[in-house]
Amino acid sequence: ASTSALAGVRRVPLPTYPFQRRRFWALDRIRHVFAGGVTSVPGDSAEDGAPVAAGGTRPEHLASAVPAADDVEADLVGLWQEMFGFAPVGVTDEFSALGGTSLTATRMALEIARRHDGFQVNLHRVGGTRTTVRRIASVLRARGLGSAAYGAADAEGALIDTDLDLPLGTARPSGPGPRRAVLLTGATGYVGAFLLHAAQIAGHDDIRCLVRARDDAHAWERVRAAAAGYGLPAPDPERVRMVPGDLTDIGRALTRPGGGPDGGLGRAVGQILHCAASVVFTETYRTLRADNAMATAELLRWARENGIQDFGYVSSLAACSPTGPELSIAETRAQPLAERAGGYGTGKWVSERLAERAERDGMRVRIWRPGLILGDSRSGACNPKDMTWRLIVASLAVGAHPADDRLLYSAPVDVVAKAIVAGLTGPGAVGRAQHLVHHEPLSIRGLFAALSGAGLPTTPLPPARWQQLVRERALDTGDDALAPVALLGFDEELGDLVRVEAEAWRGWLTRSGLSSAVDGPALARSIRWLAGTEDGMYRELLAGVIGHGDSPRHAVGAALGRKVV
């Protein structure tokens, strides 16, 4: 169908959502019960939580505890007291104020599901880590109403409307002189590490990395550690420089005395590649907006006031919603905001709209929307915290996988990174949004068939039965790698299968001799890589699946028919 009628659309009024919500897993991280969007799982961010008092007493910084009003609240209070190790807990205490984090929120939701006939509370919709016993209890009482049980608890339309109009400063001319530098955000993350590597391979010789760090030395330490963690060479200090800063205070980091490491960052940068984001799916848009939407607005403001004309934004399919009778996601800028996009997906959607506003004054904007970002096509290096791999490893651990036909739109991380870097200098990506996924998706069933063909077979089970097995294993072992997987949302009707248009980059793939497909051997390489990672996140799970004679790394290699060195 023609999409020309949508070309001029720049804003979708909120909080009206004209499109029916349907579940689809076409995102850069498989969604789960907490998420209406994608990228990572609870526990990925460095959340310290509030200090908890020792000796089982209520922390002094809290107000007096409000007692439970009924049995539902009393049961939740008891659960929280067990988790935090003190009493009393009040029904209006915020989870994070008690010391709760995204990881402990995952464990809590898992225990609630066990106590309430498998009902899975969507914590994002009741306030994320700022939720309370009272909010969760209200949903449990009304759980028979389905989505309506949440009422207006997650309504953030007015706040989103406000952020769509965040000030972007005054656009100034570029001025004389060459602008050779590329400013990259997110270089310590999974995709960002590969972007930095790809930019160096492509010949960029002046790359400035905005890194959350105390100083240059600390920034270099973090960037080198990220590269090493994914098997990438250390960045070249002759071509890469650090800009210590923070997403929540980008303006100060970029305009500190001297203007940056060379005394004139605003005059040196010609292109910005913005990849950094806070990816915590238990959180609301309100909680994430400072790191995500507001940081994008501040970065755009700085760029415009310094005459920087080129802005590249790494968005996500989480910012999109299927439309039309065929429930497809068109490869166009204009996208409705999904009713339950989640805090992360909503932030990406708002950031896209902010970039479009800057575009009206002449800025050249490029937007890329990855889906599931899988392992390096050669080494298999991948993000251990990605829900895709948790799903796969959990299935290997219990010897079964969910027999489900949801479609997974994916591509290898190195291919995604090379495509983005190539688009920075070419005119083809200007003014467009490109979907960086393989045009022929795998279903969940197909993914495990591919793994079986690579020597890692599992038995198909109805999703509910599979989920029960994983939940029991997670609760029995207390394994933090399994807990989020046990909460994957299989309870909703599948509905029509969503299709994602991904045509814009196919020509580049052909010319570059690259493939966006991910097959069984590629998936198996990533499993082998995961078994050998130093943090040991999956060692015990994979060792239990493959055998106990050798180390997990060698056992996985043997199972795949390869020698591991």
Distance from C-alpha of 565 to C-alpha of 563, rounded to nearest angstrom: 6
Whether the per-residue pLDDT at 228 is higher than 90: the answer is yes
Angle formed at CA 247 by CA 242 and CA 252, multiple of 5 degrees: 70
pLDDT, position 549: 37
DSSP 429: G
| Cβ-based burial of 13 (10 A; exposed 0-12, middle 13-18, buried ≥19) | exposed
Cβ(40)–Cβ(387) below 8 Å? yes
Average predicted confidence (pLDDT) for the chain: 81
Distance from C-alpha of 251 to C-alpha of 290, rounded to nearest angstrom: 13
Cβ(202)–Cβ(421) below 8 Å? yes
**Pick from 152-161, 202-211, 223-232, 444-453: least confident:** 152-161
pLDDT (tens digit, 9 = 90+) per residue, 269-325?
999 999 999 987 667 888 899 999 999 999 999 999 999 999 999 999 999 988 777
pLDDT (tens digit, 9 = 90+) per residue, 531-561?
887 666 787 788 766 543 333 333 333 333 3
pLDDT, position 558: 39
Distance from C-alpha of 371 to C-alpha of 438, rounded to nearest angstrom: 9
Distance from C-alpha of 349 to C-alpha of 83, rounded to nearest angstrom: 35
Distance from C-alpha of 2 to C-alpha of 457, rounded to nearest angstrom: 43
Q: Which of 426-435, 494-503, 505-514 has the highest mean pLDDT?
A: 505-514
Q: What type of residue is 137?
A: A
pLDDT (tens digit, 9 = 90+) per residue, 164-187?
999 999 999 887 777 889 999 999
pLDDT, position 482: 81
CA-wise closest residue to 208 among 179, 156, 169, 243: 243
Whether the per-residue pLDDT at 118 is higher than 90: the answer is no
Q: How far is CA 278 from CA 387, 460, 492, 497, in A?
A: 16, 35, 27, 29
pLDDT, position 444: 93
Q: Would you state the structure tokens that stand for residue 521, as one six-digit string?
A: 């051997």
pLDDT (tens digit, 9 = 90+) per residue, 99-114?
887 667 777 887 888 8
Whether the per-residue pLDDT at 564 is higher than 60: the answer is no
**Pick from 93-97, 125-129, 472-476: least confident:** 125-129
pLDDT, position 490: 66
Q: How many CB atoms lie within 10 A of CB 157?
A: 15
Q: Would you state the structure tokens that stand for residue 310, as one six-digit string?
A: 């080129």
Distance from C-alpha of 501 to C-alpha of 322, rounded to nearest angstrom: 11
pLDDT, position 546: 56
Residues with Cβ within 8 Å of 487's Cβ and at least 6 positions away in sequence, in order, are 32, 33, 34, 106, 109, 110, 113, 120
Q: Stretch 325-351: mean pLDDT, rounded?
A: 85
pLDDT (tens digit, 9 = 90+) per residue, 44-76?
333 344 444 445 788 888 889 999 999 999 999
Distance from C-alpha of 109 to C-alpha of 103, rounded to nearest angstrom: 10
Q: How far is CA 93 from CA 103, 113, 127, 288, in A?
A: 18, 21, 12, 21
Whether the per-residue pLDDT at 522 is higher than 90: the answer is yes
Distance from C-alpha of 371 to C-alpha of 380, rounded to nearest angstrom: 17
Whether the per-residue pLDDT at 149 is higher than 60: the answer is no
pLDDT, position 190: 97
DSSP 483: T
pLDDT, position 109: 80
pLDDT, position 332: 92
DSSP secondary structure of 382-417: --TTSHHHHHHHHHHHHTEEE----EE-EEEHHHHH
Q: Would you state the structure tokens that stand for residue 122, as one six-digit string?
A: 């969507």
Q: How many CB atoms lie within 10 A of CB 359?
A: 19
Higher pLDDT, 244 or 531: 244
pLDDT, position 282: 66
Distance from C-alpha of 539 to C-alpha of 231, rounded to nearest angstrom: 18
Distance from C-alpha of 550 to C-alpha of 534, rounded to nearest angstrom: 16
Q: How far is CA 155 from CA 126, 136, 350, in A?
A: 10, 16, 15
Higher pLDDT, 526 or 7: 526
CA-wise closest residue to 501 among 447, 417, 437, 446: 437
Of the chain, the percentage scoring pLDDT greater than 70 comes to 79
Q: Would you state the structure tokens that stand for residue 58, as one six-digit string?
A: 């209520």
461 pLDDT band, cuts 50/70/90, is: very high
Cβ(210)–Cβ(184) below 8 Å? yes
Higher pLDDT, 426 or 384: 384
Peptide bond into 237 cis (omega under 30): no
3-state secondary structure of 367: strand
| Cβ-based burial of 189 (10 A; exposed 0-12, middle 13-18, buried ≥19) | buried
Residues with Cβ within 8 Å of 139's Cβ and at least 6 positions away in sequence, in order, are 121, 125, 126, 149, 150, 153
Whether the per-residue pLDDT at 400 is higher than 90: the answer is yes
Distance from C-alpha of 141 to C-alpha of 144, rounded to nearest angstrom: 8
Distance from C-alpha of 351 to C-alpha of 293, rounded to nearest angstrom: 5
Domains of the chain are: 63-154 (1.10.1200.10), 162-370 (3.40.50.720), 371-416+425-565 (3.40.50.720)
- Residues forming beta bridges with residue 241, ordered by sequence position: 208
Parallel, antiparallel or unpaired: strands 240-245 and 269-274? unpaired
- Measured between alpha carbons, how far apart are the two ends of the chain, in Å? 52
Distance from C-alpha of 284 to C-alpha of 126, rounded to nearest angstrom: 9
CA-wise closest residue to 208 among 22, 217, 522, 199: 199
Distance from C-alpha of 363 to C-alpha of 359, rounded to nearest angstrom: 5
Whether the per-residue pLDDT at 7 is higher than 60: the answer is no
Tell me the chain's radius of gyration from C-alpha atoms.
23
DSSP 493: -
Q: How far is CA 160 from CA 238, 256, 289, 315, 353, in A?
A: 42, 30, 9, 17, 11
Q: Stretch 207-228: mean pLDDT, rounded?
A: 96
Residues with Cβ within 8 Å of 424's Cβ and at least 6 positions away in sequence, in order, are 182, 199, 271, 273, 310, 312, 366
